[in-house]
Amino acid sequence: MSKPAAASGRVWRRFLHHRIACVGGIVVALLLSAALFAPVLAPRDPTFLDTSVRFLAPFADSRFLLGTDELGRDTLSRLLHGGRVSLTVGLVAMATTVLTGAVIGITAGYLGSLTDTLLMRFVDTMLCFPQVFLLLVVAAFVPPTLLSISLVIGLTSWMEVSRIVRAEILNLKEQDFVAAARALGASRARIMFRELLPNAAAPILVAATLKVASAVLMESYISYLGYGVQPPLASWGNMLTNAQGYFNTVPWLAVLPGVAITATVMGFNFLGDGLRDALDPRLRMGP
Amino acid sequence: MIKFLLRRLLQAVPLLIGVSIIGFGLMHLAPGGPLAVYTLNPTIQAQDIERIKVLFGLDQPVHVQYAKWSSGIFTGNWGYTFFGGRPVLGVILERVPATMLLMGSALSVAIVVGLAIGVLGATRRYSVFDILATSGALVALSFPTFWFGLMAIYVFALELRWLPSGGMWELGEEGSILSLLRHLILPTLVLALVITATWSRYARSAFLEALQQDFMRTARAKGLSLRVRLLRHAFPNAAKPLIALLGVELPFLFSGALVTETIFAWPGMGRLFVDALTMKEYPILMGMMMFTAIFVIVGNLLADIAIAAIDPRLRLS
């Protein structure tokens, strides 16, 4: 089921009119390409130690554009490689969140009755725990690898997505095309994933974008508390933890990764907000 | 109303059971079980671990342990800490006042400032102020709380030396209200930032919706002043989603408090949780999960009751 051309053109126009969303889109594109090409862009090996050049300030030495840390590692290279790690965790966690949330939301919404009640009570229960508490307990149990951290973040944040998807499915399943598919003898799984899922794509896309933002934030929280990405692998979160030890004397070490995290989270938040405005059918009906 | 209360209370029961199963299950999924921490200690022999197992009842089947533990939750016996053998509930309750003080003051700041920004934005939709406030809120939501806290410490405690960088009291000034207030300012502002942003967004949309209702036009036609229209007519209608938000936001408030307390060495529940995590104090972790979850359930219950008290339609249906 693809949208008519006029509708998708309208979505584009709405999105481009949304200046903040465009800024977000550009920031996200820049960050993703920086992460993708980090090995090419980074001037040095991010783990290379050189104790003769410790704590160089940004722009003080032409060889080290953004200065060096307590072990003489190049901050710019570490930021680029750290971004690769943080964004990977963010994207994999988002995929886990969206996949889990969508499957549970569709199952609950389409099957209804007891399945719906049980699944949604489970969602309610999970939402009673503060996410950072849940995240830290589980993160402390599993050995911290990039994959395990992403999965833990993803599996503790899918609940809102499943609610959004369920609400969408409840609206969609009463429509004619579902009845038509059923009349044609389509199986339950086919109706759920081939008919209903594509039609719920818009709210899922918005939720996915916003989830990357929160996953990057969560990675930085657990890395900062020591349960996330482990050194020597750099992530923005653990760069901040490192920097905290020299905070009184060299504050810029803490400023830079924080700015990187904020810019990333902001980029995805702006993008998601703009997408919501562009895709929300209720707003589309307005003037 | 009594019928509504009873129904709402009954709905909380499966939640409580679910929460206790997940909390209990998590701790038993821990690698090596809840006593794994002792196996790392060279002075503790295998037979000692067996003895501790019997002592804590860990040798019994899982469902027996769960039944014992969950009935203890209601009778106030939340188990004992591994180190020092102190009652878990007591250890947690000791930390509650500090966290409640921090969360309460941050929430008050956030509600007042967020409401003001939201109402101004809704009444002057698409004005410069509104655009700045809505994008500003989105920026504030993107700040990592701990980084914002570190920056606040750097500027206000290390550079300007206006405020202390952490803790609750100056040494030797324990109990002094003035010292407490000085220590409270920075963590409150840091925790309030994100909540204020959320509140301003929700308040804006709640008021926008209320302002578009027919009764607002009627009120204007009657010649009522803007102040009366906002306070008497728009506010009660916008208040419902905002009270609901209060309940929904509780888990985020706890999460934020955990991070804020860690940065500012604030001796509350968040710090207790992080410390318990490093020491693998499973009884405390389990107790903290239960405490926050029960708090959230009760908070949502109260929010629903408050909404029903405002809106007669909900009570009667």
User: What does the H/E/C string look like for B149-191?
Assistant: HHHHHHHHHHHCCCCCCCCCCCCCCCCCHHHHHHHHHHHHHHH
Which one of A31, A131, A133, A282 would you mutate to disrupt binding with B, by most B Cβ within 10 Å of its Cβ?
A133
Our CA-based measurement puts residue B5 at a distance from the nearest CA of chain A, in whole angstroms, of 19
Q: Name the average pLDDT for chain A.
A: 83
How close is the nearest chain B Cα to the Cα of A17, in Å? 14
Q: What's the pLDDT tens digit per position in A28-61?
A: 999 998 888 878 777 777 777 676 766 667 766 6
The whole-angstrom separation of Cα A254 and Cα A67 is: 12
CB within 8 Å: A122 and B289:
no
Picking from A137, A218, A222 by the largest number of B CB atoms within 10 A of its own CB, the best residue to mutate is: A137
Distance CA B249, CA B270 (A): 17
Tens-place pLDDT, residues B44-76? 777 777 777 777 677 777 788 888 888 888 887
Q: Do A227 and B289 touch (CB under 8 A)?
A: no
Higher per-residue pLDDT: B160 or B114 = B114
How far is A179 from A84, CA to CA, in rounded Å?
A: 46
Q: Taking CB atoms and an 8 Å cutoff, what residues of chain A touch B139?
A: 266
CB-hemisphere CA count at 13 Å for A191? Answer: 22
Q: Among partner residues A131, A224, A254, which is closest to B251 by beta-carbon distance? A: A131
Q: Output phi, psi for A18, to 5 deg.
A: -80, 95
Q: Which B-chain residues 86-145 have CB contacts (< 8 A) with chain A? A: 135, 138-139, 141-145
Asked if A240 lies within 8 A of B18 by C-beta distance, the reply is no
CA-nearest of B240, B308, B294 to B78 is B294
Nearest C-alpha in B relative to A160: B248
- What's the token pair of residue A153? 């973040």
Higher-pLDDT residue of B56, A151: A151
Q: Nearest CB to B259: which of A121, A221, A266?
A: A221
* Whether A266 and B138 lie within 8 Å, measured CB to CB: yes
pLDDT at A3 over 60: no
Alpha carbons A228 and A158: distance in angstroms, whole number: 19
CA distance A90 to A223: 13
Residue bearing the bigger pLDDT, A48 or A101: A101
Mean pLDDT lowest for which of A66-80, A233-247, B284-298? A66-80
Mean local confidence (pLDDT), A166-193: 86
Helix (H) or strand (E) holding A183: helix A176-183
pLDDT-wise least confident of A166-170, A221-225, A246-250: A246-250
Using pLDDT thresholds of 50, 70 and 90, give the confidence band for residue B113. Answer: very high
Rounded to whole angstroms, the Cα distance separating B130 from B120 reads 7
A131 interaction partners in chain B (CB closer than 8 Å): 251-252, 255
Region A263-274 average pLDDT? 90
Whole-angstrom Cα distance, residue A221 to residue A15?
A: 31
Q: Count of CB atoms within 10 A of residue A141's CB?
A: 18
CB-nearest to B144 from A138, A255, A261 is: A261
Contacts of A134 in chain B (CB under 8 A): 289
pLDDT greater than 80 at residue A226: yes
User: How is residue A45 annotated by DSSP?
Assistant: -
CA distance A219 to chain B (A): 10
Distances in Å between the Cα of A147 and the Cα atoms of A92, A153, A156, B35 are 8, 10, 14, 27
Residue linked to tokens 């919706």:
B209
Contact A130 B255 (CB under 8 A): yes
Q: Where are the beta strands (DSSP E) in B200-292?
A: none
- Picking from B1, B64, B55, the residue whose alpha carbon sits closest to that of residue B28 is B64
A111-119: list long-range contacts, CB under 8 Å, 24+ apart: A111/A188, A116/A166, A119/A162
What is the rounded average pLDDT of the residues B10-24?
87
Alpha-helical runs (H) found in A37-74: 38-41
Establish whether this prediction's ipTM goes over 0.90.
Answer: no
Q: Which residues of chain B from 185 to 204 reach within 8 Å of chain A, CB to CB?
A: none
Answer yes or no: do B251 and A129 touch at CB < 8 A.
Answer: yes
- What residue of A is the nearest CA neighbor of B34? A141
| pLDDT score for B116 | 92
Phi and psi torsions of B117, nearest 5°: -65, -45
pLDDT at position B316 over 70: no
Query: Average pLDDT, stretch A101-127?
Result: 91
Contacts of A217 in chain B (CB under 8 A): 142, 144
Say yes or no to pLDDT of A99 above 90.
yes
User: Residue B112's pLDDT band (boundaries 50, 70, 90)?
Assistant: very high
B154 in contact with A, Cβ within 8 Å = yes
Q: For an interface test with A, give the residue of B13, B131, B150, B273 to mutate (most A CBs within 10 A).
A: B150
Q: What are phi and psi of B164, to 5 degrees?
A: -70, 155
Q: Who among A142, A247, A270 is closest to B150 (CB)?
A: A247
Nearest CB to B139: which of A136, A255, A266? A266
Whether the CB-CB separation of B257 and B191 falls below 8 Å is answered with yes
Residues B73-104 pLDDT 10s:
888 788 788 777 788 888 899 899 999 999 99
Q: Tell me the average pLDDT across B204-233.
A: 85
